[in-house]
Amino acid sequence: MLAAGSASGQDLGSSNKLFGSGQPTPKAEKRSKPAAKPAAKATVKKATVQKAAPKPSVGQPARPADASAKTPKPKPGSQPQAGSGDQAKRPPQPDIAIADERYEQLIEKGNTARGRRDLAAAEAAYQEARRLRPGDERPLAGLGNVFAEQLRWDEAERNYRAALKIAPNDPSILVALSYLLIQPVSVPNLSERYGEAEKLARTALAGGRRDALALVLLGAALEAQGMIGPEAENSYRKAIQAAPDLAPAYALLGRYLRRRGNNAEAQSQYARAAALATPATSAFAAEILASDGRFSDVLPMLDRAVKAEPRSAGLHLQRGRALAALGRVVEAEAAYRAAQAAAGSSIQPRLGLADLMIGQKRADRAEEELAAALRIAAPAEKYEIAMFLERLGDLYLSTRSAADARRAYRQALELAPGRGSIEAKLSSIK
């Protein structure tokens, strides 16, 4: 969603992800006790191994912080405290070393599983690691990555926020949450989310850091708030200087230039974005290009990416949207179904299918998809479903099915109490 759908349904995790490498994390040395934290990194890495953060790719949401990005913090009370005087309650030192090793193995297991897109295994490993050390941000960041890949935006956001409470200045977590907040979802407080996304991106850039993805998100957040000016343009150009192969930066710069009337340079930047897009950045870049109606550029890019990453829910979702916009309904439905299979319990593919069916005036099918989405929706996602139910009511009303329209509007109003447009439509039905 740029939307975390993010900039739209972006794929936040797999090999070559925007928020971290999908390669297995090198093994860390065994430790008798937790080591001091190293500087924050953009990927979840083992405490004893440091890698340069992978360059974000255009077209897909940056990938959330990798679970091994930092040395784990000791769980409160897990180590003997000097001068405590309570020797009986101190765990034996060998037990601490074993627990440390088990924890690091779980982080590595989660990272490796996520890299091969075995998201169920990755989630299980991170969950177990979280139980061992609830005070460490790495398992939370890893879970955020997994849920973002599955387009489970609400769960991803909760985990990133929890990780950020523990590590409030970790650039990779700041960037991951910023990306989710610019998703074009239907929520009552969208402007507040865009403002927070801007703040998070600025924090990630504090101290003179030149994080290309943070620069991209800063510009995108500014534009989302209607601030289409020099600061946004400078952010995109600085991002390109920092990461010359970052496709989303070119796509956003192209859109900015087109909005400012510079069509010739905009076309050049769009072409660069399409040429540089990788499987990891194609979803993000596609959403940006699609927002400017450039579906003919989007589809070939997504076709290539899907061949390389056939289990990416974000790529299939963006491909479904592009095909739907081009009127290729049968192929669009197949793409949404592929996204649904990859995403599991995400409502986004279901909403894509409902949108497709409403466009085809197939109200019964649209209602089926919305009912299925509602069964798995998190509380924060129900407002978005209400917007689709309102559209469904409009469709029923246009076909003179007043009773069905009334039912759809009432259900929408239950999910979005006080929404004036729904109340007005409901009261107009006699």
pLDDT in tens, 266-323: 999 999 999 999 999 999 999 999 999 999 889 999 999 999 999 999 999 999 999 9
| pLDDT of the residue at 94 | 56
2 by DSSP, 3-state: which? Answer: strand
What is the per-residue pLDDT for 99? 78
Distance (Å, rounded) from C-alpha 124 to C-alpha 137? 16
How much is the pLDDT for 189? 84
What is the structure's pLDDT at 18? Answer: 54
pLDDT at residue number 13: 33
Cβ–Cβ under 8 Å, residues 378 and 150? no
Q: pTM value?
A: 0.78
Q: How far is CA 184 from CA 9, 13, 154, in A?
A: 9, 19, 13
Question: Helix 119-132 vs helix 137-149: angle between axes, to the nearest 10 degrees?
Answer: 160
Positive or negative, the Cα torsion across 262, 267, 272, 274?
positive
Tokens representing residue 406 in the block:
């009334």
pLDDT of residue 400: 85
Does residue 77 come out as left (phi exceeding 0), alpha (psi in the -120 to 50 range) or beta? Answer: left
Where helices occur in 64-135 by DSSP H, the ranges are: 93-115, 119-132
How many of the other CB atoms lie within 10 Å of CB of 280? 36
Residue 107 CB partners (closer than 8 Å, separation 6+): 25, 44, 46, 67, 68, 72, 125, 126, 129, 138, 139, 142
Query: How many Cβ atoms are within 10 Å of 370's Cβ, its own excluded?
Result: 27
- Say whether 3 sits in a helix, a strand or coil: strand
CA distance 166 to 283: 30
Question: What confidence score (pLDDT) does residue 75 get?
Answer: 39
- Domains of the chain, each with CATH number or no CATH: 2-74+97-346 (1.25.40.10), 347-430 (1.25.40.10)
pLDDT at 95: 67
Rg for the chain (alpha carbons), in Å?
23
SS3 174: helix
HSE, side-chain direction, 13 A CA sphere, residue 136: 34
CA dihedral 123, 124, 127, 133 (to 10 degrees): -120
Helix (H) or strand (E) holding 249: helix 247-259
Cβ proximity of 90 and 80 under 8 Å: yes
Residue 187, pLDDT score: 83
**128 φ/ψ angles, rounded to the nearest 5 degrees:** -65, -40
pLDDT at 328: 97
Residue pair 387/415 in contact by the 8 Å Cβ criterion: no
pLDDT for the residue 7? 33
- List the structure tokens of 392: 């469904």
Contact 276, 250 (CB under 8 A): yes
Of residues 242, 164, 233, the one with CA closest to residue 209: 242
Q: What is the per-residue pLDDT for 87?
A: 36
Residues of the chain with pLDDT under 50: 1-17, 19-92
Q: In angstroms, rounded to a whole number, what is the distance separating the alpha carbons of residues 253 and 235? A: 9
Integer Cα distance of 370 and 362 in angstroms: 13
348-359 helix and 329-343 helix, angle to the nearest 10 degrees:
160
Q: 176 phi and psi, to 5 degrees? A: -60, -45
Rounded CA-CA distance 45/61 in Å is 20
Strand partners, 17: 20
